[in-house]
Amino acid sequence: MTISVGDKLPDVKLVKATQEGPEAVQSAEYFAGKRVALFSVPGAFTPTCSAKHLPGFVDKAADLKAKGIDEIACTAVNDPFVMKAWGAASGSADVTMLADGNGDFAKAVGLTMDGSGFGLGTRGQRFSMIVNDGVVEQLNVEAPGDFKVSSAEHMLEQL
């Protein structure tokens, strides 16, 4: 079942990509007590994700924070080393990279996709959400192949 507005996020392990190396975090702990703009991409270094999705949140980070967002986080079904490299190549310190290497978070929120036709296996769908103290405040799930409602610009319109 897909998570909905008003639902509490499930508590699963994610891995935060840091300069010091991978750091395991529980999602319940990570999202507690703050308002987070979370976006999910099918994969680091993939075309739309690298050309539009991550850069949009990097460019609009100050605007999001000015509208009450405490932290911006990106998740993907990639390992923490790939997420760290992608963040270093394309991101900024304003975006926390959260690796969902086994897809546990994507499965737990019911937002997986089958990318096996492209050799990607099971991945997280492209989506964004505003999470307030662990509870989904806004949820924007893209139709397959689209990039509209999960953008930083769309999120800014919602705030």
- The domain segmentation of the chain, as residue ranges, is 13-158
pLDDT at 56 over 70: yes
Asked if 99 and 83 count as a contact pair (C-beta separation under 8 A), the reply is: yes
pLDDT above 90: residue 44: no
Contact 4, 139 (CB under 8 A): yes
Judged by DSSP in three states, 90 sits in helix
Q: 61 — phi, psi (to 5°)?
A: -55, -50
Is 49 tagged catalytic?
Answer: yes
User: What is the per-residue pLDDT for 69?
Assistant: 98
Q: pLDDT class for 50, splitting at 50, 70, 90? A: low
pLDDT digits (tens, 9 = 90+) for 84-101: 998 988 878 899 999 999
Share of the chain above pLDDT 90, in %: 71
pLDDT at 71: 97
Mean pLDDT (whole number) for 135-146 = 94
pLDDT of 102 reads 94
* 38, 49, 76, 111: the active-site residue: 49
Q: How far apart are CA 41 and CA 147, in angstroms?
A: 10
pLDDT above 90 (res 33): yes
Mean pLDDT of 110-117: 83
Task: Confirm or reject CATH 3.40.30.10 for domain 13-158, answering yes or no.
Answer: yes
In 3D, which of 124, 122, 87, 94 has the Cα closest to residue 109?
124
